[in-house]
Amino acid sequence: MGIRVTAVDCGPLTLDRGVLMTGSSGLITVPTAAYIIEHPKHGVILFDTGVNYRVADEEEAEVYWGPGVRAAFGCGLTRDMAIDRQLDKLGYKLTDVKHVILSHMHLDHAGGMTHFPHAKFYVQKVELRYAWWPDPFSTAVYCLNDYKDTRGYHFIQLEGDADIFDDGSIRLITTPGHSPGHQSAIVRLEHRGPVFLGADSAHLQAAYQSLACMPFDWSIERVTDSYHRMRMLEAAGVELVFSHDPDDFARFPHDGEWAD
């Protein structure tokens, strides 16, 4: 049996499209996708961990994220949407997760880290360092509470692309711009072929197609460079999906292997 992949929504956001794509407007509700990957040799792997479960409670979110942040992002997380409950619904235990890949450490992607103190975490070294001391303009999208207790975790601090199992099944591709150390993953599915889990390398397919950035992007120049790298991958037959694109999420399986 090949790799199985399930997409789960760990924190839907309702906000103006202009926050996700410059030059756009109007309210849009988007998922915050985390991907549960079952590898026949290496067990359960997570690609991102969504929003922290404490944000499901409006009052607790005011402390955990800070005053007004939950409302500003239009976060609609319920307790059952958090990654621990999503895993439980699919029949997994938290200890089944042996590997966690963080695309980056923004508050809607690294929120569930502390459920997995036993796992190996794969993160770009520059992202890990930046998360602990971000530039002032980036502080709104990094939440120290997500990772302040993770100093003793097993971090694999990467500096560039990586084939994490040295077998081509999951390759990590650097796609900086949205954050300094943003990375994406190419998962090779047996019948579907390579699928690019792009996280926030683009927030919407429309943004990627038009080379549009967003206000929270760390570097417009690096975003554009990453877009061009993705276009090369797409031209080579790699299918691109993004964590906040509603259509991408809708066509992804939510209860097991992506049907071919």
pLDDT tens string 27-45: 999 999 999 999 999 999 9
Beta carbons of 154 and 162 less than 8 angstroms apart = no
- CATH 3.60.15.10 for domain 4-250, yes or no, is yes
For position 259, what pLDDT does the model report? 39
Q: Hey, where are the domains in the chain?
A: 4-250
pLDDT of 260 reads 34
Residue 255: per-residue pLDDT? 60
User: In which residue are the tokens 């049907």 written?
Assistant: 259
Query: What is the predicted pLDDT for the residue at 1?
Result: 65
> Which residue from 153, 228, 141, 209 is spatially nearest to 178, judged by alpha carbons?
141
Which residue reads 């990094």 in tokens? Answer: 142
Q: Which residues of the chain have pLDDT under 70?
A: 1, 255-260
Structure confidence by residue, pLDDT tens digits, 82-124: 999 999 999 999 999 999 999 999 999 999 999 999 999 999 9
Rg (CA), the chain: 17
How distant is the alpha carbon of residue 181 from its chain centre?
Answer: 12
